[in-house]
């Protein structure tokens, strides 16, 4: 699946850089750009950059103020669109915006940029948004809550990553963010690469094309991605249980949004050497995923990869009602001094409480 990759804010720029250098994503990213209001954050990135808000904040950032983040991106929208224009060509099948949802420029600017891009381009606009961890402070929780509510209205889907999902105990903040970015890049790289294979041009038995990725994400406003891998046998028949096991681990312990086991749709991709992939195993794992999600909209396929390990990638569409989403909005509402907690995650996305950015 060929995408234009746009990083917004400090975290978004670093994440876009990590995805762009992932070996599997190389041929799928047709163009990339990092946008920020802080000049210093852009200078360290190894990709094209664009500074916004120079007249207002003089290249010093918005200081965590996501309303100001939204304003500076909106004020410079025409210049931003001009910078992006050369990266969204006829080969582009979607636009992927990456952003940290707790900061200022990313959480405020990503929804504005998504709105402007959907107005101009006739391809899906997705956001890969990183939720702040529980210990990152009230400002970050409040920013993320408001940003997420707005993104739910302005994007075709928002793929969520919870900072608490992969951060290891004992890691410093910088180490934690770096490892999270690498984990995300690995998963997104495989997803994009698997959706790039043309039927009849590869050794995959059951090809997953970009339309299946798009249709999976179309099932709802929020999405998650899971991944797991294990050593495999040279004998495909001996890997039937291995494929089922890695699929279970991808969903139950390896998702970007822990406890996101309630979804409207799913896509399973099994990656590894073609001769090691059990077709019965792929079908069995897909059937298990269908039952676990309680959804008939579960697609499946395989991706040839030069590795002795077998991996399962699970894409979930429509995870609005997962416990983690409800927990997050309750946390964000508490940070905003809301008098009542939300009892329904979908209601949290559309109610007037915890108002969106615009």
pLDDT digits (tens, 9 = 90+) for 43-58: 999 999 999 999 999 9
Q: What angle do CA 115, 134, 218 make, to 5 degrees?
A: 35
Q: What angle do CA 23, 29, 31 make, to 5 degrees?
A: 135
Query: Which of 141, 137, 81 is closest to 107 using CA atoms?
Result: 141
pLDDT at 95 over 60: yes
- Spatial distance between the Cα atoms of 6 and 3, rounded to a whole number of angstroms: 9
Strand bridging mode 157-162 / 222-231: parallel
272 and 343 co-located in one domain: no
Query: Which of 244, 288, 239, 240 is closest to 266 using CA atoms?
Result: 288
Reduced DSSP (H G I as helix, E B as strand, rest coil) percent helix, strand, coil of the chain, to 5: 45, 20, 35
Query: Residue 116: inside a domain, yes or no?
Result: yes
Asked if 222 contacts 320 with a C-beta cutoff of 8 angstroms, the reply is: yes
147 and 115 co-located in one domain: yes
Per-residue pLDDT tens digits for 283-330:
999 999 999 998 989 999 999 999 999 999 999 999 998 888 988 999
- Spatial distance between the Cα atoms of 247 and 267, rounded to a whole number of angstroms: 11
SS3 107: helix
306 and 341 co-located in one domain: no
Asked if 67 contacts 147 with a C-beta cutoff of 8 angstroms, the reply is: no
- Spatial distance between the Cα atoms of 6 and 84, rounded to a whole number of angstroms: 8
34 and 118 co-located in one domain: yes
- Spatial distance between the Cα atoms of 90 and 97, rounded to a whole number of angstroms: 18
Judged by phi (left if over 0) then psi (alpha if -120 to 50, else beta), residue 170 lies in left
- Spatial distance between the Cα atoms of 289 and 174, rounded to a whole number of angstroms: 35
308 and 337 co-located in one domain: no
Decide: pTM greater than 0.85. yes
Per-residue pLDDT tens digits for 241-289:
999 999 999 999 999 998 888 899 999 999 999 999 999 999 999 999 9
Could you give the number of structural domains in the chain? 2
Confidence category of residue 161, pLDDT binned at 50, 70, 90: very high
CATH code of residue 340: 3.40.50.1440
**Residue 59 φ/ψ, nearest 5 degrees:** 75, 10
CATH code of residue 253: 3.30.1330.20
118: containing domain: 3-194+328-350
Which value, in Å, is the radius of gyration of the alpha carbons in the chain?
A: 20
Name the range with the highest mean pLDDT among 169-173, 194-198, 331-335: 331-335
Query: Residue 293: inside a domain, yes or no?
Result: yes
Mean pLDDT of 332-349: 56
C-alpha to C-alpha distances, 71 to 41, 82, 280, 285, nearest whole angstrom? 19, 18, 53, 46
72 and 185 co-located in one domain: yes
Classify each residue of 185-222 as buried b or exposed e, where b means 16 or more C-beta atoms within 10 Å of its C-beta: bbbbbbbbbbbbbeeeeeebebbbbbebbbebbbbbbb
159 and 68 co-located in one domain: yes
Query: Residue 85: inside a domain, yes or no?
Result: yes
Query: Residue 214: inside a domain, yes or no?
Result: no
High-pLDDT (> 90) share of the chain, %: 75
pLDDT at 343 over 60: no
């Amino acid at each position: 699946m060929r995408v234009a990759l746009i990083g917004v804010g400090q975290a978004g720029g670093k994440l876009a850089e990590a995805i762009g250098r992932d070996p599997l994503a190389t041929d799928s990213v047709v163009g990339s750009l990092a946008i920020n209001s802080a000049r210093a954050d852009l200078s360290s990135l190894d990709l094209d950059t664009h500074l916004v808000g120079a007249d207002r904040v003089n290249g010093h950032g918005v200081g965590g103020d996501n309303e100001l983040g939204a304003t500076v991106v909106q004020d410079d929208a025409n210049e931003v669109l001009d910078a992006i224009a050369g990266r969204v060509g006829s080969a582009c099948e979607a636009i992927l915006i990456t952003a940290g949802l707790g900061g200022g420029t990313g959480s405020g600017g990503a929804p504005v940029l998504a709105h402007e891009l959907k107005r101009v381009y006739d391809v899906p606009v997705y956001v890969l948004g990183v939720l702040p961890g529980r210990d990152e402070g009230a400002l970050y929780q409040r920013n993320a809550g408001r940003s997420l509510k707005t993104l739910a209205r302005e994007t075709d889907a928002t793929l969520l990553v919870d900072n608490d999902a992969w951060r290891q105990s004992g890691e410093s903040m910088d180490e934690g963010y770096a490892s999270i970015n690498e984990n995300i890049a690995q998963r997104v790289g495989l997803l994009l690469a698997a959706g790039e294979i043309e039927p009849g041009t590869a050794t995959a038995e059951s090809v997953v094309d970009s339309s299946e990725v798009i249709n999976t994400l179309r099932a709802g406003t929020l999405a998650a991605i899971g991944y797991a891998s294990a050593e495999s046998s040279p004998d495909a028949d001996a890997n039937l249980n291995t494929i089922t096991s890695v699929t279970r681990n991808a969903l139950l312990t390896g998702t970007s949004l822990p406890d996101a086991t309630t979804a409207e749709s799913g896509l399973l991709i099994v990656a590894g050497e073609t001769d090691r992939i059990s077709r019965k195993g792929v079908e069995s794992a897909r059937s298990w995923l269908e039952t676990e999600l309680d959804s008939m909209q579960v697609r499946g396929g395989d991706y040839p990869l030069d590795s002795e390990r077998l991996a399962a990638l699970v894409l979930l569409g429509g995870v609005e009602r997962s416990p983690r989403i409800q927990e997050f909005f309750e946390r964000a509402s508490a940070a905003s001094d809301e008098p009542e907690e939300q009892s329904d995650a979908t209601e949290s996305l559309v109610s007037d409480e915890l108002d969106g950015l615009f």
